Structure 1
């Protein structure tokens, strides 16, 4: 394969993966997916085939949907500063470190409060909406970094996204932790007891 075509093809594959997969997946498995896409390339091909693009996009969508938290915990975390359960903390990290997170969160909150006003039968005036937007620009934009840091800390991550600890506390492991502990007689308990 022509070196120029290879670098163009690789660049387009990386762009496709950036659109499809979260950064954590690309960090740990990106080279594997990229290698597969490079193996599928025909000589002189400058971009992935439509079928390959659709496969990568489908895989990314399935991964994102599988890791997404349930509706109620997600709503609480979006509307307030509630922490998601341990199982979804990596999803939360990816979301918080994602592009335009603060803006997405603010737009969601304004929409939710707008729906609340509609449910009460009173829609806020345009002046109120403009005032809220200006207040957001004055207050929230300069504080973006500290908001990200505090939300990452709430989910037990350092500001750079590394976790405080790798494994969940034993209290969150449930029956899995008890299944591996010996009982009083020294024999192992069967799982589920």
Structure 2
């Protein structure tokens, strides 16, 4: 493993990270665009600065990753897999996180554009998006409670029998599948991990 400080909104950082991965590992086969942030606020309450900041990380960061990963993957001649982290918010919207919903919708649409571009070039690169619902992470705990920090026990308490939440490892398992040759014919897919949240009304409504 190689750890590199990386600001996903920086084009220069993306060039450096991809070049470093290629030189260190001998090529690039998989890209997982997983960096993300969230700001609370409706379309009326959210400021333009907040909107741009969230979209800079969640949307533009994914764009830059795809832009610089594709040529590096093509250079190997082996194809590759790009996995973009979106959200159920991209599919049904969430009024209280307007900027986040918009950014994740952009990720979903960009994913399909990338998949079609690569299919047209016949370069063997696939691109898919993952759409989780609630995942037991510090970011979700902050949204749910307003707290800046949380212990593992507090994060675990978010998941209840009435409203179960998945583990980060559940998402990682799908990422691993999409990165592997077992999913070689899965392309431009929107992969849900939401315990049927988008198929049924929210619990209690």
TM range (shorter): under 0.3
Which of structures 1 and 2 has the larger relative contact order (alpha carbons within 8 angstroms, sep 6+)? 2
Point out the structure with max Rg over C-alpha.
1
Specify which structure has the higher proportion of strand: 2
Query: How high is the TM-score relative to the length of structure 1?
Result: 0.26
Query: How high is the TM-score relative to the length of structure 2?
Result: 0.25
